[in-house]
Amino acid sequence: MDAAYRTMVMDRIMHKTERMLEQIGDRSPHVAREDGVYDDLPHWWWTSGFWPGILWLMHDMTGSDAYRQAAWDWDARIEHWFSRYPLELHHDVGFQFLPTAVIKHQLTGDQEALRIGLRSADFMAGRFNSAGGFIRAWNGDHIGWAIIDCMMNLPLLFWASRESGDPRYKHIAVRHADTILKNAVREDGSVAHILSFNAETGEFIEQLGGQGYGPDSAWSRGNAWGLYGFAIAYRNTGDQRYLDASKRIAHHFIAALPDDAVPHWDFRVEQPEEEERDSSAGAIAASGLIEIAEHVPHAQKRIYQAAAERILTSLTERYATWDQPEHQAILLQGTGHKPAGENINVSLIYGDYYYIEAMAKLNGWSRRIF
């Protein structure tokens, strides 16, 4: 991808997000279907940070005050839901407060954003199961479940340790990453979605399929979370095992991609050509591959950078809505939860977020939230 193409795509993104700002307004988008209209979910839903994350990122890239104003209140809106625990917020506070409170504090120095960010880190740390060394994922009955997605929530804890000077957040993040590395990342670089533990003794029980095709399958978005999450764990700790894990997941991910480089929703479905894509998995992996490229020796960089660019070029050319100005999303063909029959072949706000994030990084955006 040459410099002119990177700039051209970023220009398209800027035009698109200006339009999205008018179209989406105050809504909290998650999914847009065929009519191209993003829905409006309650702010406790795990995806509520991504739209304000796009706004903060675009403010940082362009300096435009319109983005800053639209993004400003989102950390407080989501924080409101802490009073409803244990019914709503869960380990995904990382996805919710990194692109709201944390980036707001980084960009503006706002002390209220710092307080909210640290409060969310306290909440996340409070979900740690010390017997099993994992952060509990969801609420409800599954007290002993940890999931691969949580690798992307760990930067909240690393950030909180840096801001507060208290290493306990980081200790929890490292224990959790070690548990996931041991039990979810397989020899061949594929990753399981859910890990089940005995919450009382901490004993590991089994891998579960979750949003993937089965317990021994490779849900592409989960694999993208793992790829990116371990690279971030390396950035925050310098522990080579995490970078090696990220690379191993990346090698499996790249090798399993179809010809157009945008993954199907699971790499191990029986008839992939009959299955839906998940453009969001491609976008997340592309941003993660760029992260890996930042940490490997010069001779290795090209492998990861080229794979990221191949995915992003395909998303740009074949999966985007540039010629549909009324469509409120950027990427088409995301798949939320195929086994549950939910949100299949739709636009997903996190697909849009990570696509923009990856393209912004290729255009010199050096701030790191995740």
Contacts of 133 (CB under 8 A, 6+ apart): 175, 176, 178, 179, 202
Count of residues that bind ligand GLY according to CB under 6 A: 5
Give 117 or 229: the residue with its C-beta nearer to ligand GLY: 229
Closest distance of CB 15 from ligand GLY, Å: 28
Q: What is the CA radius of gyration of the chain?
A: 19
- Name the residue with the smallest CB distance to ligand GLY: 149
Separation between Cα atoms, residue 34 and residue 347, nearest integer Å: 9
Query: What would the x/- binding string for ligand GLY be over residues 154 to 193, using CB under 6 A?
Result: ----------------------------------------
Give 114 or 154: the residue with its C-beta nearer to ligand GLY: 154
Q: Which residues are known catalytic residues?
A: 92, 149
Q: How many CB atoms lie within 10 A of CB 45?
A: 17
Residue 206 in tokens: 């089994």
Residue 245 in tokens: 């894990």
Give 133 or 226: the residue with its C-beta nearer to ligand GLY: 226
Residue 276 · residue 216 · CB < 8 Å: no
Closest distance of CB 107 from ligand GLY, Å: 25
Contacts of 59 (CB under 8 A, 6+ apart): 65, 67, 68, 71, 107
Binding positions for ligand GLY, 328-347, rule CB under 6 A = 336
**Would you put residue 25 in left (φ > 0), alpha (ψ -120 to 50) or beta?**
left
Give 46 or 158: the residue with its C-beta nearer to ligand GLY: 46
Separation between Cα atoms, residue 163 and residue 157, nearest integer Å: 10
Binder of ligand GLY out of 30, 59, 176, 221 (CB under 6 A): 221
Residue 36 in tokens: 């191209």
Residue 80 · residue 97 · CB < 8 Å: no
Q: How many CB atoms lie within 10 A of CB 326?
A: 10
Closest distance of CB 231 from ligand GLY, Å: 17
Closest distance of CB 303 from ligand GLY, Å: 26
Closest distance of CB 95 from ligand GLY, Å: 7
Helix (H, G, I), strand (E, B) or coil at 194: strand
Query: What would the x/- binding string for ligand GLY be over residues 19 to 58, using CB under 6 A?
Result: ---------------------------x------------
Closest distance of CB 153 from ligand GLY, Å: 9
Residue 348 · residue 336 · CB < 8 Å: yes
- Cα end-to-end distance, the chain, whole Å: 24
- Establish if 266 lies at the interface with ligand GLY (CB under 6 A): no
Give 176 or 295: the residue with its C-beta nearer to ligand GLY: 176
Give 106 or 220: the residue with its C-beta nearer to ligand GLY: 220
Give 23 or 211: the residue with its C-beta nearer to ligand GLY: 211
Binder of ligand GLY out of 79, 149, 278, 352 (CB under 6 A): 149
Of 272, 242, 286, which Cα lies nearest the Cα of 338?
272
In sequence order, what DSSP letters do the residues of 77-129 get, joined into one string?
HHHGGGGGTTSS--TTHHHHHIIIIIHHHHHH--HHHHHHHHHHHHHHHTTEE
Closest distance of CB 85 from ligand GLY, Å: 19
Residue ranges that bind ligand GLY, judged by CB under 6 A: 46, 149, 211, 221, 336
